[in-house]
A and B are shown apart, each in its own frame.
Chain A
């Protein structure tokens, strides 16, 4: 049977991808950021997932305002990187996991999560930057990926509680799949940041660190946080953090925190990263 062993969360800042792509990762500004991911690269090389379920958001790339799915699951065989205005990132094409993705879609919908099924889409920095941070710059990505896009562009995103419950339904669906696959789930986005208006550049280290503490120890408390609190305390784009709760919901209630990293700034944003493992 398939097994979901661990989850990790990371910011998906576009400038981080650009720094890597343009060979700037050794510069003093970027060095501390990339150093913070060295552990994760070693960890995931040992963990060797067959499939990553990657929870992220599209940023007016594959989805404009024509179609705004709250939860969209990518069931295609592959996903090309989006041209976000400077040409597509020169990273490998993302290989999907169509059979498991279709199984997940069916199970989730019957569990009352009304997923949008996507068979043709590109993936932007929200998905490809976490891949680069975890796997570096290989010729091919070492695992299959199921993109799970969450709307956080138009208010309201799904609630934190809804995201957490989706995670639980994902766990159930993975473990009902009758192939021997190792699955790891990524929650991405955040941490505190605001990209718009006169309050742009907002960072709230105390909020972020409390969020990391609770993510490990008391995620139920986080599921009760209203959207306005994310936006007020962590910036209008800090609300992306609800996506981390999908990841957390897919893990055991009691988890081992294997690694944590926090750094300010990368471009306009606080970088946060955590690895959580099921104990059994």
Chain B
């Protein structure tokens, strides 16, 4: 299957293949919609994760709160951000971490008009630049 979006830098498109790869990771995240599950997860993260048929890499990415790695392993941001909420983080704090900024730096970038599209359309632009 042709994926014309693979040359967009810093972006992982949640397509059917990634959805299949990340199904259990994302369904684990979905379970965090319930307060009792959030409490169980926070009380014993590794034990809670062991209940889901995820890969060891997926479990580790959750334990490490490696937000970009979760996306690479099939996570979807609307699901993985539920881990952030469980940790008491705002969405913007998670977005800042994914883009390698502190939250104040990220908020400042947004107030100044957001991340520019210039130089951010193609991976090739970034290699050059």
Q: How large is the interface on B (under 10, 10 to 19, 20 to 34, 35 or more residues)?
A: 35 or more
Which residues from chain B contact A66 at a C-beta distance below 8 Å?
A: 27
Contact with A155, one of B15, B77, B91, B121 (Cβ below 8 angstroms): B15
Contact with A201, one of B27, B78, B115 (Cβ below 8 angstroms): B115
Report whether A197 and B91 are in contact in the complex, using a CB–CB cutoff of 8 Å.
no
The distance in angstroms between the C-alpha atoms of A227 and B2, with both chains bound, is: 13
Give the distance to chain B from A65, nearest Cβ to Cβ, in Å: 5
Report whether A156 and B99 are in contact in the complex, using a CB–CB cutoff of 8 Å.
no
Which residues from chain A contact B68 at a C-beta distance below 8 Å?
A: 197-198
Contact with A along B1-31 (1 / 0, CB 8 A): 0001100111111111001000100110110
State which residues 46-91 of A face B: CB under 8 Å.
Answer: 59-61, 64-66, 83-86
Q: Does A202 contact B (CB under 8 A)?
A: yes
Q: A153-B78, A264-B113 are in contact. Are A199 and B85 (CB under 8 A)?
A: no
State which residues 158-203 of A face B: CB under 8 Å.
Answer: 192, 194-203
Which residues from chain B contact A203 at a C-beta distance below 8 Å?
A: 110, 113-117
Contact with B99, one of A197, A205, A270 (Cβ below 8 angstroms): A197
Give the distance to chain B from A30, nearest Cβ to Cβ, in Å: 12
Report whether A194 and B16 are in contact in the complex, using a CB–CB cutoff of 8 Å.
no
Give the distance to chain B from A153, nearest Cβ to Cβ, in Å: 6
Q: Does A22 contact B (CB under 8 A)?
A: no
Q: Does B62 contact A (CB under 8 A)?
A: no
Contact with B along A9-24 (1 / 0, CB 8 A): 0000011000000000
Which residues from chain B contact A156 at a C-beta distance below 8 Å?
A: 15
Contact with B115, one of A14, A64, A202, A207 (Cβ below 8 angstroms): A202
With both beta carbons as reference points, the residue of chain A lying nearest to B122 in the complex is identified as A232
The distance in angstroms between the C-alpha atoms of A265 and B111, with both chains bound, is: 6
Contact with A270, one of B95, B111, B114 (Cβ below 8 angstroms): B114
Report whether B85 and A86 are in contact in the complex, using a CB–CB cutoff of 8 Å.
yes
Which residue among B85, B91, B110 has the maximum number of chain A CB atoms within 10 Å of its CB?
B110
Report whether A265 and B110 are in contact in the complex, using a CB–CB cutoff of 8 Å.
yes
Q: A65-B19, A231-B5 are in contact. Are A60 and B85 (CB under 8 A)?
A: no
Q: A60-B82, A65-B26, A205-B113 are in contact. Are A196 and B11 (CB under 8 A)?
A: yes
Q: A194-B11, A228-B5, A264-B114 are in contact. Are A85 and B33 (CB under 8 A)?
A: yes
Q: Does A267 contact B (CB under 8 A)?
A: yes
Report whether A196 and B113 are in contact in the complex, using a CB–CB cutoff of 8 Å.
no
Contact with B77, one of A85, A192, A196, A231 (Cβ below 8 angstroms): A196
Which residues from chain A contact B71 at a C-beta distance below 8 Å?
A: 196-197
Report whether A85 and B98 are in contact in the complex, using a CB–CB cutoff of 8 Å.
no
Q: Does A216 contact B (CB under 8 A)?
A: no
Q: Does A236 contact B (CB under 8 A)?
A: yes
Report whether A265 and B114 are in contact in the complex, using a CB–CB cutoff of 8 Å.
yes
With both beta carbons as reference points, the residue of chain A lying nearest to B4 in the complex is identified as A228
Report whether B95 and A201 are in contact in the complex, using a CB–CB cutoff of 8 Å.
yes
Report whether B98 and A196 are in contact in the complex, using a CB–CB cutoff of 8 Å.
yes
Which residues from chain A contact B11 at a C-beta distance below 8 Å?
A: 194, 196-197, 199, 231, 236
Q: Which residues of A contact B (CB under 8 A)?
A: 14-15, 59-61, 64-66, 83-86, 153-156, 192, 194-207, 226-228, 231-233, 236, 264-265, 267-268, 270
Q: List 19 interface pairs A-B (beta carbons < 8 Å), by A numbering.
A: A15-B91, A60-B26, A60-B79, A65-B27, A154-B19, A195-B77, A198-B10, A198-B99, A200-B95, A201-B115, A202-B114, A206-B117, A232-B122, A236-B13, A265-B110, A265-B113, A267-B110, A268-B110, A270-B114
Q: Which residues of B contact A (CB under 8 A)?
A: 4-5, 8-16, 19, 23, 26-27, 29-30, 32-33, 68, 71, 76-79, 81-82, 85-86, 91-92, 95-96, 98-100, 106, 109-111, 113-117, 120-122
